[in-house]
């Protein structure tokens, strides 16, 4: 009789834990969907901003020692070498 009650209690506890786990899994799913939607909205906004501002690629200087750098048209900057001029 004692063993039967012990097994029954264990089954009840495991069922309760399983139900709690299902609730937590549902919360995680909702949170995951919310984050994915927020990310999609954010990326769409950024893409719209980037594509709406034209970039003049004819002004890029290629330095063999680094990646392409955009020209900065200000006093003391050489467009020819892409380096600061004193």
| Domain coverage including residue 77 | 56-86
Q: What total of structural domains would you count in the chain? A: 2
- Which of 47, 72, 54 has the alpha carbon at shortest distance from 80? 72
pLDDT tens, per residue, the chain with 86 residues: 667 777 888 999 999 999 999 999 999 999 999 999 999 999 998 888 877 766 555 555 555 555 555 554 444 555 566 565 55
Q: 49 with 62, same domain?
A: no
pTM of the model: 0.49
Tokens, residue 37: 């939607």
Q: 49 with 64, same domain?
A: no
Distance CA 22, CA 27 (A): 9
């Amino acid at each position: 009789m004692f063993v039967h009650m012990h097994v029954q209690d264990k089954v009840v506890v495991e069922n309760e834990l399983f139900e709690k786990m299902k609730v937590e899994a549902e919360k995680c799913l909702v949170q995951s969907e919310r984050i994915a939607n927020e990310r999609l909205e954010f990326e769409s906004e950024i893409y719209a901003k980037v594509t709406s501002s034209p970039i003049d690629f004819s002004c890029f200087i290629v330095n063999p020692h680094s990646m392409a750098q955009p020209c900065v048209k200000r006093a003391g900057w050489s467009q020819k070498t892409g380096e600061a001029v004193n």
